[in-house]
Amino acid sequence: MSRIIKTNNLQFNYGDKNILKDLSIDMEKGLFYSIIGPNGSGKTTLLKLLANILPSTKKTIYIDNEDIHNITKRNIAKKLSVVPQITNINYEFTVLDIVMMGRSPYISRFGKIDNKDTDIVMKAMEETGVIHLKDNKVTNLSGGELQRVVIARALAQETEIMLLDEPISHLDIGYQYEITELVYKLCRDKGITIINIVHDLNIAMRYSDKILMLKDGKIYRYGQPLDVITKNTIKDVYAIDVEIINHPVLHNQKVIVK
């Protein structure tokens, strides 16, 4: 397996306040990563640094073995797409307009959308199950539909990495699994490296190849789901008592709160 992301003693401060401390992480191509940790532990900050939305120090973040500082913004957008925590779209864009925005790194400033862009956008909408909504205004969509549209936009960007910041937090339990299944499929079928911030420990346990658990801006654990999510780590990081039990149907492990 080849390495796709590396961080090297990554630090981040907001003003005087140190937020992330010495994060050194390696991520491999094509795997499903989850980032977990309490509110304020630095998950979103880490994601924004990886996406170059927040500035990092030189020689701390490498994508495809290249220092992120040496990659142009346009080329970063060709490697890495972002599904943000909250997508505020106030304009009356259609679903097609929004998904087409995923093509912007490939279209020059005065360039035109060509047939290839349209084909990619149509395919992205098919794969995410929003093609029937293509002429709808995004302001009229349900939360689950909007999230699919934002994932379609990321897919149309044709990146090898997709970063998602709590894509299911505002959704009901049905949509939570539906969206996570969709993202998991993109990982397995298309080999897209997924980095997914999630609060639901059972979803993290069930879908992740590896989990990064943050506490106070530091790596608390990084590894296989069953090594990261344990009675003790959950007690330490979230201050609650849980039991890890066998799922009666799926026979994988499941977290229940005591």
Choose among ligand ADP, Mg ion, none what residue 39 binds, the Cβ cut-off being 5 to 8 Å by kind: ligand ADP
Query: Among 7, 34, 44, 157, which residue sits at the site for Mg ion (rule: CB under 5 A)?
Result: 44
Taking contact as CB under 5 A, which single stretch among the options 42-50, 74-82, 123-131, 230-238 is the one that binds Mg ion?
42-50
**Least Å from the CB of residue 48 to ligand ADP:** 8
> Encoding tokens for residue 31?
């795997």
The residue among 41 and 81 lying less far from ligand ADP, judged by its C-beta, is 41
Q: Tell me which residue has tokens 């397996």.
A: 1
**Least Å from the CB of residue 13 to ligand ADP:** 9
The residue among 95 and 212 lying less far from ligand ADP, judged by its C-beta, is 212
The residue among 27 and 164 lying less far from Mg ion, judged by its C-beta, is 164
The residue among 45 and 208 lying less far from ligand ADP, judged by its C-beta, is 45
Binding residues for Mg ion, rule CB under 5 A, total 2
**Least Å from the CB of residue 47 to ligand ADP:** 8
Provide the binding-site residues for ligand ADP, judged by CB under 6 A. 14, 19, 37, 39-45
**Least Å from the CB of residue 84 to ligand ADP:** 12
From the CB of residue 207, how many other CB atoms can be counted at a distance below 10 Å?
Answer: 21
**Least Å from the CB of residue 43 to ligand ADP:** 3
Residues at the contact surface with Mg ion, assessed by CB under 5 A: 43-44
